[in-house]
Amino acid sequence: MKEEVKRWMEKSKSDLKHAKSSLKNKDFDWAQVASQQAAEKALKAVCLNKGIGLIKVHDLTILGRKLNAPNDVLENCGLLNPFYTASRYPDVEEETDEESEETAAKDAIKAAGKVIKWCKGQIKI
């Protein structure tokens, strides 16, 4: 495996670890952002591994389509996409209660895990 691909995957795993830690600390926004970032970095690792190059976009669905990802992976990408902006910018985020935020964080972590698992299979880690 190319060293650059390995570095992107390591960052992806680290971000997912931070997402899980943030969930435990009830820092749900950060769990969501870290989940999105984990999936994004894994998808970019696959792009690099396949010789597509680094695509500088944050839209996970675009990255997934570029990689011909299956529908279930694309659905998880679609679930994660809003977390890139909604959790980072207070003027974009909707008002929700703590229970909804916790559920969203758990869903984000689960979705990121599925995307990363598919990416690992593409790279043969």
For the chain, the structural domain boundaries read 3-123
The confidence score (pLDDT) of residue 97 equals 73
Average pLDDT for 94-108? 86
pLDDT at 92 over 80: no
Least Cα distance to 44 among 58, 26, 28, 23 occurs for 58
Alpha helical stretches, state H, 67-125: 71-80, 83-86, 98-123
Tokens of 11: 């960052």
pLDDT at 87 over 70: no
Q: What separation in angstroms does the CA of 88 have from each of 37, 57, 68, 83?
A: 12, 17, 29, 8
Whole-model pTM: value is 0.91
Least Cα distance to 106 among 41, 37, 28 occurs for 28
Q: Give the architecture-level CATH label for domain 3-123.
A: Up-down Bundle (1.20)
